[in-house]
């Protein structure tokens, strides 16, 4: 033994790059064709990796769909929770409820821009009865509720909620207003611009939640 420890940094980075290549391939295929017709084997071919690599990395199609969404939502694959990212910290640092909600609307618009084409296809697919997509939708809705609960709790703690409006009611209002379904309806179906969506959302959140 020469006392040297094995440095697996290079191998870990290669694994990370391979994972990201698979996720990029999955997103491209889903946006182009819809999720129901995309197989893990086709993702492997598109990513120029073996089918075994995709299977060993993600195990199930549901897991692949979820991580594709997560990385698209975050904009990168860094292991940083959304609450610790600068855009969310900016909401918490704002000094007035109106400013907090305006910044929240900006975040909702940015996330909608990032995920819009992907989520539009996934939402359409979730109505097909595919269990993987139904599980994906349920998981995303649950995670959105957790995130919204944190923001509304912050508003309540800082005196930002309108009198008579419970945190639970406020949570449900925000959860509905920032839903990907509503973003998709306004942007895709009705042809709103992202700026129009953001401005409307900021006004609506402010009117619904504050004095």
Q: Which residues contact 204 (CB under 8 A, 6 or more apart)?
A: 177
Domain match, 39 and 84 both? no
Q: Into how many domains does the chain fold?
A: 2
Q: Please identify, among 79, 98, 127, the residue that sits at the C-terminal boundary of a domain.
A: 79
Which tokens sit at 207? 């009117």
Q: Does residue 100 sit in the same domain as residue 72? A: no
| The most confident of 32-41, 55-64, 199-208, by mean pLDDT | 199-208
Q: What is the CATH number of the domain that holds 10?
A: 1.10.357.10
Question: 194 is written with which tokens?
Answer: 């992202």
What is the per-residue pLDDT across 1-58, written as a single tens digit (0 to 9) for each?
455 555 678 888 898 999 999 999 999 999 999 999 899 999 999 999 999 999 999 9
Residue 101 shares a structural domain with residue 73: no
Range of the domain at 116: 80-211
Asked whether residue 178 falls in the same domain as residue 86, the answer is: yes
């Amino acid at each position: 033994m020469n006392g040297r420890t094995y440095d697996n940094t290079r191998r870990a980075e290669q694994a990370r790059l391979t994972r990201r290549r698979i996720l990029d391939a999955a997103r491209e295929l889903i946006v182009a064709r819809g999720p129901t017709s995309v197989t893990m084997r086709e993702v492997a071919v598109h990513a120029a990796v073996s089918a075994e690599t995709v299977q060993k990395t993600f195990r199930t199609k549901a897991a692949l769909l979820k991580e594709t969404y997560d990385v698209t939502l975050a904009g990168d694959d860094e292991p940083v929770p959304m609450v610790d990212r600068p855009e969310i910290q900016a909401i918490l640092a704002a000094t007035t409820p109106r400013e907090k909600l305006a910044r929240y609307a900006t975040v909702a618009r940015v996330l909608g821009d990032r995920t819009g084409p992907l989520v539009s296809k996934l939402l359409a697919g979730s109505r097909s009865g595919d269990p993987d997509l139904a599980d994906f939708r349920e998981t995303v809705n649950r995670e959105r509720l957790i995130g919204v609960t944190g923001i509304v709790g912050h508003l309540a703690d800082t005196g930002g909620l309108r009198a008579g409006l419970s945190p639970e009611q406020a949570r449900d209002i925000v959860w509905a207003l920032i839903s990907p379904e509503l973003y998709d309806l306004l942007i895709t179906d009705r042809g709103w611009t992202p700026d129009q969506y953001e401005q409307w959302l900021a006004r609506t959140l402010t009117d619904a939640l504050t004095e």
